[in-house]
A and B are shown apart, each in its own frame.
Chain A
Amino acid sequence: MASAPENEKNASAPEKKTLTLKSMINNEEFVVDEHVALQSVTIKNMVDSDCAGDVIPVPTISGEILALVIEYCKNHANPSASEDDLKKADAGIVAKDIYTLIDLVLAANFLDIKGLLEVTSQKIADSIKDLPHQDVREIFGVENDYTPEEEAAVRAEHDWAFEGFP
């Protein structure tokens, strides 16, 4: 851990390429080291195929969410971070309300960042696992298309059909 600042110094010695990510929702811009941004497979594909200009526009993702994504990428681009450190940092990033988490999982999916998608999905699962289905409907804006009979049948199913292989 003591060597972390030194590493950073060494890494910054050669000239570093940066990319600018711009949220198209509120026009916020973020200047990011290229190797940090390249953890997004979507951005990597754009850079590899020379489709990326100086500023990469990111549609449908707000600046607030983009900041979280970049924080995640920075943490995971740091070679001297231990597994425990990363776990703690990830937990901090996803310690958000459910609506932010839904935006974040959409962003992770759009930018194709597998690790972020996984931790966010896990956090969403943890947040909704004990909720009644009416609350889940409300959070995700789902309309109930069951008749009361159908809903009762689906719920009864769980008395005799369950996951697992005893």
Chain B
Amino acid sequence: MDTILCDELLQEIFHRLPLSSSSAVSAVSKRWLRVHRSSKTVLSLRLSPHNCTPPSLSTFLSHFPFLSSLSLTSPAVPDGDTAAFSDRLLLSAASSCPSLRHLRLSTGPISLFPLLSLSTSCPHLTSLSISLSRPLSLYWLALFHSLKDLFVVFTGEFVSDQFDSCFQQADAELKLETLGLTGIRQGDFGFAWLWRSCKKLKKLQLRSCEGIGDDASPSSFVNCLKGVEEVELRTCRTIVDEILLKLAENCTSLMSLLVYDGGSREGLRQFISRSRCDLQKLDLRLPLDLENNHLLAVAESFRGLSSLRLQSCCLVTGEGLRTIGLAMSYRLEELALINCDVVEREPGLLTTLGQCLRRLRKLDLSYNEMLVDKEFVSMIASCNYLSELKLRGCKGLTNAAMVLISKSCKNLESVDIMYCGGIKAEAVELFVMNCPRLRRVQVEESKISDVARSRASSKFIEVVV
């Protein structure tokens, strides 16, 4: 008889099992399967017409009474009617999981009707990630009263019968705090209402956007920026300058800015010199025109900066970075110079940075392939408080560098030395044995010796391969 452990005790144990044990536990008996399913709150389904039809999805999901997060993806889209397939999946999910809080659908664009149904059947939904096809409509958002995080990918071709802008919807009071939009194109309508209705936005993420909606006046967009603390702009080349200017002029709450692939010389300069916010984090990738002048201005304008991340900045020289180092010496806690050839070009630069930035906790020098031991070691000797170090793809570093890291950085908790061809297994072993606070190391499996592996497991060090 299978009654040694009651359902509650089985649950206690199931909660502590790794994902890899799910299959074995479910195969034990029908009771174990039922208890195991009801112990799950988070589920991802990879659907295809072969393993799942919308009605069978409904039945399947009804076995998971406590599901709060659900993600649906379908790698192979059924022929033809993808939109109808996603719509029916969403309807099934909505009706079977009333207590859902997080829902992500990557099965294809969704139309209006299932969204309306979702808003009534899952009233507690706080996070939603979907894709929508043109013509775009966003008014349904007003029906989701608990929604805080929204991520939408816009797809599809323009249709001649674009959105009717005479039909003016009254503004709503959306509770959205995080908004992530991908793929707004020039000629898209329907955004003025969205910008005007987002008064509580804390985080804005735009990806591959060419515009902010043709019907959106500058003032409506500015409305949503007022309280924003975090902005991320990825591959939005055509609108970066405009948004940076609006941020500089209207947003004093900004704490973190990320710009990947975009931002002109003048646009960046204007933002840095005119912004009145107290920026804490700045992350720039491939700002082709970023020069020393910009860094000087950053050092001057953003006195509270604690994190500076630069990736693939080719015009910056040692002078600019030294200025930053001197000006930020007691504040900067995170520095990333990823694939920045200045690191390799200017001997002594890293030494200076190490000596200036005494409070550095996180350092990322990944993909500086020509970086050699001598330069790196002279920096690391001064970075005694470092807790996180990333050296991924630094092919020029050797075993000697690892020895010095373990001598200088006694507080190190996490290290990434993936793709560092010059660092061999014996150095990894020595390092794992001699780093008292190490919690996580990322390195190729072939470089983990048996000794290093058993040390890692006895000290609860996570090895990521």
CB distance from A122 to the nearest CB of B (A): 5
Contacting pair B4 A154 (CB below 8 A)? no
Contact partners of B44 in chain A: CB under 8 A = 161-166
Interface residues in B15-42 by Cβ distance below 8 A to A read: 15-33, 40, 42
Rounded to whole angstroms, the CA-CA distance of A146 and B47 in the bound complex is 25
Contact partners of B16 in chain A: CB under 8 A = 121-122, 124-126
Contacting pair A146 B71 (CB below 8 A)? no
Residue of B nearest to A127 (CB): B13
Rounded to whole angstroms, the CA-CA distance of A137 and B324 in the bound complex is 63
CB distance from B220 to the nearest CB of A (A): 33
Contact partners of B20 in chain A: CB under 8 A = 129
Contacting pair B25 A124 (CB below 8 A)? no
Convert A151-163 into 0s and 1s, putting 1 for each residue whose CB lies closer than 8 angstroms to a CB of B: 1001101111111
Stretch of A14-22, A35-43, A45-53, A101-109 that contacts chain B: A101-109
B51 at interface by CB-CB < 8 Å? yes
A24 at interface by CB-CB < 8 Å? no
Contacting pair A141 B104 (CB below 8 A)? no
Contact partners of A155 in chain B: CB under 8 A = 23, 26-27
Contacting pair A145 B30 (CB below 8 A)? yes
Rounded to whole angstroms, the CA-CA distance of A42 and B251 in the bound complex is 57
Contact partners of A109 in chain B: CB under 8 A = 6, 8-9
Tell me whether chain B's interface is mostly helix, strand or loop, or mixed.
mixed
Rounded to whole angstroms, the CA-CA distance of A154 and B34 in the bound complex is 11
CB distance from A146 to the nearest CB of B (A): 7
Residue of A nearest to B21 (CB): A129
Convert A45-64 into 0s and 1s, putting 1 for each residue whose CB lies closer than 8 angstroms to a CB of B: 00000000000000000000
Contacting pair A125 B30 (CB below 8 A)? no
Convert A66-103 into 0s and 1s, putting 1 for each residue whose CB lies closer than 8 angstroms to a CB of B: 00000000000000000000000000000000000010
Interface residues in A114-158 by Cβ distance below 8 A to B read: 117-118, 121-122, 124-126, 128-133, 136-137, 140-146, 151, 154-155, 157-158
Contact partners of B71 in chain A: CB under 8 A = 165-166
Rounded to whole angstroms, the CA-CA distance of A156 and B1 in the bound complex is 27
Contact partners of A117 in chain B: CB under 8 A = 12
Contacting pair A142 B2 (CB below 8 A)? yes
Partner of A164 from B19, B21, B27 at Cβ < 8 Å? B19
Contacting pair A144 B46 (CB below 8 A)? no
B137 at interface by CB-CB < 8 Å? no
Query: How many A-B contacts at CB < 8 Å in the complex?
Result: 116
Interface residues in B413-450 by Cβ distance below 8 A to A read: none
Interface residues in B237-259 by Cβ distance below 8 A to A read: none
Residue of A nearest to B47 (CB): A160
Interface residues in B27-85 by Cβ distance below 8 A to A read: 27-33, 40, 42-48, 51-52, 60, 69, 71
Contacting pair A128 B52 (CB below 8 A)? no
Known: A128-B21, A160-B47. A106 touches B9 (CB 8 A): yes
Rounded to whole angstroms, the CA-CA distance of A155 and B2 in the bound complex is 21
Contact partners of A162 in chain B: CB under 8 A = 19, 22, 43-44, 46
Contacting pair A146 B24 (CB below 8 A)? no
Residue of B nearest to A117 (CB): B12
Known: A158-B22, A160-B45, A162-B44. A141 touches B1 (CB 8 A): yes
Partner of A163 from B6, B8, B40, B102 at Cβ < 8 Å? B40
Contacting pair B24 A133 (CB below 8 A)? yes
Residue of B nearest to A163 (CB): B19
Contacting pair B2 A151 (CB below 8 A)? no
Contacting pair A136 B28 (CB below 8 A)? yes
Rounded to whole angstroms, the CA-CA distance of A127 and B33 in the bound complex is 19
Contact partners of B18 in chain A: CB under 8 A = 129
Residue of A nearest to B23 (CB): A158
Contacting pair A163 B22 (CB below 8 A)? yes
Contact partners of B1 in chain A: CB under 8 A = 141, 143
Residue of A nearest to B104 (CB): A165
Contacting pair B28 A133 (CB below 8 A)? yes
Contacting pair B4 A140 (CB below 8 A)? yes
Contact partners of A140 in chain B: CB under 8 A = 2, 4-5, 28
Known: A133-B24, A164-B42. A121 touches B29 (CB 8 A): no
Contacting pair A154 B26 (CB below 8 A)? yes
Contacting pair B24 A121 (CB below 8 A)? no
Interface residues in A2-38 by Cβ distance below 8 A to B read: none
CB distance from B23 to the nearest CB of A (A): 4
Contacting pair B13 A157 (CB below 8 A)? no
CB distance from B322 to the nearest CB of A (A): 42
CB distance from A112 to the nearest CB of B (A): 12
Contacts A106-B4, A158-B26 given; 16 further ones with Cβ under 8 A?
A: A109-B6, A124-B16, A129-B18, A136-B28, A140-B4, A141-B1, A142-B31, A143-B1, A151-B27, A161-B43, A161-B44, A163-B19, A163-B42, A163-B43, A165-B42, A166-B71
- Which residues of A line the B interface, CB within 8 A? 102, 105-106, 109, 117-118, 121-122, 124-126, 128-133, 136-137, 140-146, 151, 154-155, 157-166
Between A and B, 18 residue pairs with Cβ closer than 8 Å are A121-B13, A125-B21, A128-B13, A129-B18, A130-B21, A133-B24, A133-B25, A140-B4, A145-B29, A154-B27, A154-B33, A157-B26, A160-B48, A161-B45, A161-B60, A162-B46, A163-B44, A165-B44
Q: Give the 9 A-B CB pairs with smallest separation, nearest first.
A: A125-B16, A133-B27, A142-B2, A121-B12, A158-B23, A133-B24, A160-B46, A129-B21, A165-B69
